[in-house]
Amino acid sequence: MSALALQTPPRTGADAAYVRVNGVTKVFGTRKRSVTALADVNLRVRRGEFVCVLGASGCGKSTLLSLIAGLDAPTAGSVERPAGHPALMFQESALLPWLTVRRNVELPLRLRRAPSAERRRTADHLLEMVGLLDFADARPHELSGGMRQRAALARALAQDSELLLMDEPFAALDAITRDQLHADLSRIWEETEATVVFVTHNVREAVRLGDRVVLMTTRPGRVGRQWRIDIPRPRELDDPAVASLAHEITTELRRDLNGDRDR
Amino acid sequence: MISTATATGNSRALRALLPRVLGVAILLGLWQLLAVAGVSSPAGARLPGPGDALAEIVTLTRQGVLLPALLRTLSRAAIGYVLALAVGTAVGLAAARIPLLRAAVGSLLAGLQSLPSVVWAPIATIFFVAGGHDENAMYFVVIMGAFPSIAMGVLSAYDHIPPLTFRLARSLGARGPQLYRHFVISAALPGYVAGMRQAWAFSWRSLMAAELIIGSLAASGIGQLLDNGRSNLDLPEMFAAVLVILVVGVAVDDLLFTPLERGLLRRRGLLPAA
């Protein structure tokens, strides 16, 4: 199935939204020393869409993800998303070091009390999907950074949630490994038809992966310009179309940061 | 190839063992020197050498004195330790979860830990022995000596669980018993075992203090054997008892806690492969 088919027909109107962030403001700290992380943020994500939220560090993009995940509550505004726990991936794999890779992937199934045969079957299927089946019995510390993130992806998929929230999951990886994981994630997204909100500070990563790039401005975090990306998949990182759009977005990002400094 | 690996494995184990054997040899050598030099007490009792102590251990075993005493002491240690484990775990968990309780008992536990547990022995004599509950007096002293280490171990183990582990648990929807069963207990295990190990040292010391002080009224263990030696001026018996106490303390640590801790750390990749 083509990935682009997922987002057609492009229905307009609020009803098409799968995740809805309505005028969300998030303030940390007490009245005297408060920091406004997010100010009146609005975001709509359609079912099956891959949205990349792009911003410099400190723009509140991770805060936004926590709010969508339901790990934190907004100071004002509301977040609407499908019931259940969305799958979450962090910059660190957060694999449990005392479990084998397979048992880590089985964890979400174990928590919802799936029978052991089903757990095993699902985990092995997902491990095969991320190319880790040969390492099912290894411990997390025996894996490379890229393999750990693959295992974390398999665990996220084991949650069987249609919504996948990713918080800079590849930021700590080297360029070659990251490139491989981009290709794998794109393929897996097309296979699973999941809805993805992917937070990153890497412009090319956002352009390569997303159906849409949402730029966040800094201090306080607001939603700035958005780009719909129609470059056909599979995309390469050094694709001229990817490079040129990334250049355009980088220019915009820089303008925001310089403007922030002049203010 | 495989045989080479085994050979290096063996020589590595040998290299690890060698300093310890050397240490014991130096200690025994010094002891022997003092004995040969004719060190004696003001009353004229001569210091026995390591050989005399070992011979006494054999004699005491033949007379059927040593083994029952050792078994009685070990059973006291085991029961007291398990009780201390239960009390310490309960106190530690409660303090970890309830901020007010933590503030209340946090520094108290550190104070209790530095308090020599021998001070509980006379108190236990009055409260338990006078009522005819000698064994309970022993357990009381062991519990008071060992439970602070367990509780402190639980507290620090809980505090050292990475925040990301809790975030993961929440994002997976784990709460209540599931949170403990799948995340907290396993994540806290290495710190808990470190506390257990320290608590063993404390309970063994406390038990010896209890046996020496509560002494003659209770059925005899190794501590009373030492006390008997003192009353009869039987120095070989005293040194035989000290040797047994030392060996048991080290053996439990080496054969029980060290493998437990190393296994835990190795599985998590926290031990250098070396």
Among candidates A87, A97, A111 on the partner chain, residue whose Cβ is nearest the Cβ of B174: A111
Query: Taking the CB of residue B24, how many other CB atoms lie within 10 A of it?
Result: 11
Same structural domain for residues B122 and B16?
no
Same structural domain for residues B256 and B215?
yes
Q: Tell me what pLDDT residue B217 has.
A: 57
Q: Tell me what pLDDT residue A3 has.
A: 33
Task: Say if the Cβ atoms of A94 and B186 lie within 8 Å.
Answer: no
As to burial, measured by CB atoms within 10 angstroms (0-12 exposed, 13-18 middle, 19+ buried), residue B65 is middle
Amino acid identity at A227: W
Torsion of Cα atoms, A170 then B172 then A107 then A82, to 10°: -90
Q: What is the DSSP string of B2-26?
A: HHHHHHHHHHHHHHHHHHHHHHHHH
Tell me the count of A-B CB pairs closer than 8 A.
Answer: 51
Work out the minimum CA distance from B274 to partner chain A, whole angstroms. Answer: 15
Same structural domain for residues B171 and B82?
yes
What's the mean per-residue pLDDT of chain B? 88
Residue B94 lies in a domain: yes
Helices (H) and strands (E) in chain A, counts: 8, 9
Q: Tell me what pLDDT residue A142 has.
A: 93
What is the span of the domain harbouring residue B9? 1-39
Q: Tell me what pLDDT residue A8 has.
A: 37
Share of residues in chain B with pLDDT > 70 (%): 94
Same structural domain for residues B13 and B95?
no
Each residue of A44-64: pLDDT tens digit?
A: 999 999 999 998 877 888 899
Residue B247 lies in a domain: yes
Interface residues of B toward A, Cβ cutoff 8 Å, are: 164-165, 167-168, 170-174, 178, 182-183, 186-187, 189, 267-270
Two structure tokens written together for B211: 């046996």
Task: Say if the Cβ atoms of B172 and A140 lie within 8 Å.
Answer: no
Same structural domain for residues B82 and B213?
yes
Q: Can you give the CATH number for the domain in which B105 is found?
A: 1.10.3720.10
Residue B273 lies in a domain: no
Residue B124 lies in a domain: yes
Same structural domain for residues B10 and B104?
no
Residue B44 lies in a domain: no
Q: Tell me what pLDDT residue A170 has.
A: 94
Each residue of B176-229: pLDDT tens digit?
A: 899 999 999 999 999 999 999 999 999 999 999 999 888 655 578 898 888 888
Same structural domain for residues B19 and B117?
no
Say what angle helices B185-214 and B222-231 make with each other, to 10 degrees: 30
Q: Is the pLDDT at A263 greater than 50, yes or no?
A: no
Residue B75 lies in a domain: yes
Residue B149 lies in a domain: yes
Q: What is the ipTM of this complex?
A: 0.85
Domain count, chain B: 2
Look at strands A17-28 and A35-46 and give their pairing. antiparallel
Q: Is the pLDDT at B161 greater than 50, yes or no?
A: yes
Residue B274 lies in a domain: no
pLDDT tier for residue B1 given thresholds of 50, 70 and 90: very low
| Side-chain-side CA neighbours of residue B156 (13 Å) | 14
Q: Tell me what pLDDT residue A16 has.
A: 66
Three-class SS string for B114-143? HCCHHHHHHHHHHHCHHHCCHHHHHHHHHH
Same structural domain for residues B64 and B103?
yes
Same structural domain for residues B18 and B84?
no
Cα distances (angstroms) measured from residue A227 to each of A57, A104, A138, B143: 20, 36, 41, 67
Each residue of A22-31: pLDDT tens digit?
A: 988 888 887 7
Same structural domain for residues B95 and B133?
yes
For A84, the closest chain B residue by CA position comes to B173
As to burial, measured by CB atoms within 10 angstroms (0-12 exposed, 13-18 middle, 19+ buried), residue B183 is buried
Three-class SS string for A84-138? CCCEEECCCCCCCCCCCHHHHHHHHHHHCCCCHHHHHHHHHHHHHHCCCHHHCCC
Q: Tell me what pLDDT residue A9 has.
A: 37
Q: What is the DSSP string of chain B?
A: -HHHHHHHHHHHHHHHHHHHHHHHHHHHHHHHHHHHTT-B-TT-PBPP-HHHHHHHHHHHHHTT-HHHHHHHHHHHHHHHHHHHHHHHHHHHHHHHH-HHHHHHHHHHHHHHHHS-GGGHHHHHHHHTGGGT-HHHHHHHHHHHHHHHHHHHHHHHHHHTS-HHHHHHHHHTT--THHHIIIIIHHHHHHHHHHHHHHHHHHHHHHHHHHHHHHGGGSPP-HHHHHHHHHHTT-HHHHHHHHHHHHHHHHHHIIIIIHHHHHHHHHHTT-S---
Work out the minimum CA distance from B196 to partner chain A, whole angstroms. Answer: 19
Query: Taking the CB of residue A177, how many other CB atoms lie within 10 A of it?
Result: 17
3-state secondary structure of A44: strand
Q: Any residues with CB less than 8 A from the CB of A164 and at least 6 apart, and which?
A: A86, A87, A89, A156, A157, A194, A195, A196, A197
How far apart are the C-alpha atoms of A245 and A206, rounded to whole Å? 10
Same structural domain for residues B114 and B181?
yes
Best B172, B268, B271 residue to mutate vs chain A (most A CBs within 10 Å): B172
Same structural domain for residues B145 and B172?
yes
Among candidates A71, A87, A159 on the partner chain, residue whose Cβ is nearest the Cβ of B167: A71
Q: Is the pLDDT at A137 greater than 90, yes or no?
A: yes
